[in-house]
Amino acid sequence: MSEATKPDKTRQLSQEQMNAIEHLLQGRSDRAVSEAVGVSRQTVWEWRNHDPLFIAELNRQRYEMWKEARERLKSLANRALDVVEQQLDSGDPKASLAAAKYILQGTRLLGDTELHVGGPTTPEAVIMARLRNEAKMELEAEGKGRDPFKVDFSGIEDEVEDLARSRLEKALAEAGLS
């Protein structure tokens, strides 16, 4: 019996991997995730650290989760501002004012409005980040762009990018993503 091939020939996450992502987003440990999903702890660790498709999907879902939480916090900001406004004229508003302050800080209205969740959200970006790191380490080890009396690798960014890009197609194929 032959296995049906996917029309785009791109590897997809397994149901175990999708379930693992759900558990990881809930803050569970690798051990708890492995027990819930039915794989070894080492497998979960491998997915989280070496599977670009898994890493990208985990980052994408984490970003969406934080985006929803940020919007929810922003919707509470008006109520928090109302409390602050009311408390400005009251006697001892410590508890309410403290709660309002936390809401405002949570929405970042008292500072930067962008919450950095971080992490690439596509398999290609996950692989490129790894390839850039490997290329930089390789070029630094070779001493390219380096004065022996001055540790400054700023001149090799273009070389790092070129080397990483030249290896992308092969890395995508190795990951089953080409």
Tell me the residue type at 86: Q
Length reported for the chain: 178
Is pTM, for the whole model, over 0.85? no
Query: By three-state DSSP, how is residue 150 classified?
Result: strand
Angle at 19 between CA 1 and CA 53, to 5 degrees: 75
pLDDT for the residue 21:
97
Query: By three-state DSSP, how is residue 31 classified?
Result: helix
Query: pLDDT digit string (tens) for 118-163?
Result: 789 899 999 999 999 999 998 888 875 555 555 555 568 889 999 9
pLDDT for the residue 113:
52
pLDDT band of 116, cuts 50, 70, 90: low
Contacts of 126 (CB under 8 A, 6+ apart): 52, 53, 55, 56, 59, 120
Of residues 80, 82, 86, the one with CA closest to residue 99: 80
